[in-house]
Structure 1
């Protein structure tokens, strides 16, 4: 009986530790929010940024079209980045945290590291 209680306590402790590790920070950030227009005009390769707007369509292979009212940009979003708690559609306002991938040849895009639902 003592072993069962000890095993249960350990399992509960591990479960609580794992739950805390999956929490997301939602406070202020030192990464600046920018517009698509500003990022495309003045953005630097690997620049960290936050974009606010809507993911308007899928263009295939983890690539999506994002719009913020100032312009549109392709964004790359890996499956593991999508929020599990709420589905995202073309009407959902999101904050995309990531890096601008400025290409010298070809089309530049934004590599999304985190999706926030404000």
Structure 2
């Protein structure tokens, strides 16, 4: 009995940091709510920046980097992204925010894959970073 109780205490103590490691962040603007995400990832050169207009004509699953603003939250993980050439929907999972809070005034750089359906094109975001002005 004592061994079982001791093992349960050890498991509880070891799993506590996992729950404490989550940070807050996400989009802060029209339709927003607080999200939970993880932190960490690659920080460095991101390659060539693509425009919304160019991304709409690329093949399905093409890797893109876009720079612009997130202007509105459409649903749980769908947002409207805008740059100088137009707007398109982007899909950003909660875990991709990495503790960063974004407003419609913030310039962001997103990286992800083009997701083409029969009548729509959107970006499945794999990484999002706030760009310093």
TM-score range, shorter chain: 0.7 to 0.9
Per-residue deviation, 1:39: 1.1
Q: Which runs of 5+ in 2 are unaligned?
A: 1-13, 15-20, 22-38
Map 1:62-101 to 2 at 5 A. Answer: 62-84=77-99, 86-101=100-115
Structure 1: 4+ residue segments shifted above 2 A: 22-26
1:109 counterpart = 2:126: no
- TM-score where L is the length of structure 1: 0.73
**Relative to structure 1, is the Cα distance of residues 78 and 23 closer, same or farther in structure 2, using a 3 angstrom cutoff?**
closer
Paired with 2:116 and 2:103, the residues of 1 have a C-alpha distance of: 26
Alignment of 1:33-52 (within 5 A): 33-40=49-56, 42-52=57-67
Provide the rounded CA distance (Å) in 1 between the counterparts of 2:73 and 2:40.
Answer: 27
Looking at structure 2, the residues matched to 33 and 39 of structure 1 have their Cα atoms a distance apart, in angstroms, of 10
Give me the TM-score of the superposition, normalised by structure 2: 0.65
Residues 20-76 of structure 1 show CA distances to partners (whole Å, capped at 9, x for unaligned) of xx543322134x310001111x21100001000000001113100000111000000
Query: Which whole-Å CA distance do the structure 1 matches of 2:76 and 2:44 have between them?
Result: 31
CA distance in 1, matches of 2:101, 2:121: 26
Contact 1:43 1:102 in 2 (8 A): no
Gaps of 5+ in 1: 1-10, 12-17
3-state SS in 2 of match to 1:38: helix
Contact kept? 2:46, 2:65, Cα under 8 Å: no
